[in-house]
Structure 1
Amino acid sequence: MKKICCYLIFCLLPLLSLGQEPNEKTLLWEISGNGLQKSSYLYGTIHVICPDDLKISATTKTAFNKTEQLYLELDLDDPELSAQMQRSMASNTHLKNLLKANDYEQLASFFKDRTGYSIDMLGMIKPFYLLSYTYSPMIGCNQPISVEKHFVEMAYKQNKNIFGLETLQDQLSVFEKISQRKQADMLLGYIKDFEKMQESFQVMLKEYKEENINALVKSSSNAYSERYEYLLLDRRNKYWVKKIPKISQEKSTFFAVGAAHLAGERGVINLLRQKGYTVTAVINE
Structure 2
Amino acid sequence: MKNIKLLLIVFIGFSAVLCAQTKKATNSLLWEISGNGLKMPSYLFGTHHLIGAKFADTMKVLQEKLKSADAVVGEIVMDSTTQTKMAPFLVMKNNTLDSLFTKAEYKEIENYFKSKQPGFELKQLNNFKPAMVAIMMMLFESPDMLKDIGEGIDDSFQKYAKKNGKSLYGLETAEYQGALLFDSDLQKQKKALLKSIREVDKSKQKMEELKTYYIAQDIDKLTELFKIEDEESKEFMTELLKNRNNRWLDQLPAMMQKQSLFVAVGAGHLVGNEGLIKGLQAKGYNLKPVATN
Q: Conserved in 1, the CA contact under 8 Å of 2:76 and 2:173? A: yes
Q: Shift in Å at residue 56 of structure 1?
A: 4.6
Q: Conserved in 1, the CA contact under 8 Å of 2:75 and 2:170? A: yes
* Residue of structure 2 equivalent to 1:81: 82
* Residue of structure 2 equivalent to 1:5: 5
Q: For the structure 1 residues 197 and 53, does the alpha-carbon distance in structure 2 shift closer, same or farther, using more than 3 Å as the test?
A: farther
* Residue of structure 2 equivalent to 1:128: 131
Could you tell me how far apart the structure 1 residues matched to 2:200 and 2:57 are?
27
Matches within 5 A, 1:14-33: 24-33=26-35
SS in 1 for 2:292: coil
Could you tell me how far apart the structure 2 residues matched to 1:132 and 1:30 are?
34
Q: Shift in Å at residue 86 of structure 1?
A: 0.8
Q: For the structure 1 residues 52 and 119, does the alpha-carbon distance in structure 2 shift closer, same or farther, using more than 3 Å as the test?
A: farther
Could you tell me how far apart the structure 2 residues matched to 1:52 and 1:62 are?
15
Q: For the structure 1 residues 50 and 282, does the alpha-carbon distance in structure 2 shift closer, same or farther, using more than 3 Å as the test?
A: closer
Deviation string for 1:128-164 (max 9, x for gaps)? 1223323433334143453212222322332323221
- Return 168-177 or 97-106, whichever deviates more: 168-177
Q: For the structure 1 residues 239 and 202, does the alpha-carbon distance in structure 2 shift closer, same or farther, using more than 3 Å as the test?
A: same
SS in 2 for 1:247: helix
Q: CA RMSD in A?
A: 2.4
Q: Conserved in 2, the CA contact under 8 Å of 1:28 and 1:44? A: yes
Q: Conserved in 2, the CA contact under 8 Å of 1:71 and 1:256? A: yes
Q: For the structure 1 residues 223 and 118, does the alpha-carbon distance in structure 2 shift closer, same or farther, using more than 3 Å as the test?
A: farther
* Residue of structure 2 equivalent to 1:154: 160
The number of equivalent residue pairs is 269
- Return 143-152 or 189-198, whichever deviates more: 143-152
Q: Shift in Å at residue 218 of structure 1?
A: 2.1
Matches within 5 A, 1:154-193: 154-175=160-181, 178-193=184-199
Matches within 5 A, 1:239-254: 239-254=247-262
Q: Conserved in 1, the CA contact under 8 Å of 2:228 and 2:234? A: no
Q: For the structure 1 residues 55 and 199, does the alpha-carbon distance in structure 2 shift closer, same or farther, using more than 3 Å as the test?
A: farther
* Residue of structure 2 equivalent to 1:231: 239
The letter for the 2-side match of 1:80 is T
Q: Report whether the alignment pairs 1:256 with 2:257.
A: no
Q: Shift in Å at residue 124 of structure 1?
A: 0.8
Could you tell me how far apart the structure 2 residues matched to 1:30 and 1:138 are?
36
Q: Shift in Å at residue 115 of structure 1?
A: 5.6
Deviation string for 1:197-246 (max 9, x for gaps)? 11111111110011112321321224653322211111111000000111
Could you tell me how far apart the structure 2 residues matched to 1:273 and 1:176 are?
33
Q: Shift in Å at residue 30 of structure 1?
A: 0.7
The letter for the 2-side match of 1:182 is K
Deviation string for 1:42-98 (max 9, x for gaps)? 000112236776765111111101111111111113x43211111121211111222
Q: TM-score, normalised by structure 2?
A: 0.83
Alignment equivalent of 1:46, drawn from 45, 48, 51: 48
The letter for the 2-side match of 1:170 is Y
The letter for the 2-side match of 1:271 is G
Instruction: Give structure 2 stretches of 5+ with no counterpart.
Output: 7-23
The letter for the 2-side match of 1:113 is S
* Residue of structure 2 equivalent to 1:9: none
Could you tell me how far apart the structure 2 residues matched to 1:158 and 1:128 are?
37
Could you tell me how far apart the structure 2 residues matched to 1:87 and 1:231 are?
21
* Residue of structure 2 equivalent to 1:15: none
SS in 1 for 2:249: helix
SS in 1 for 2:263: strand
The letter for the 2-side match of 1:81 is T
Deviation string for 1:2-21 (max 9, x for gaps)? 22235xxxxxxxxxxxxxxx
Could you tell me how far apart the structure 1 residues matched to 2:61 and 2:208 are?
25
* Residue of structure 2 equivalent to 1:108: 110
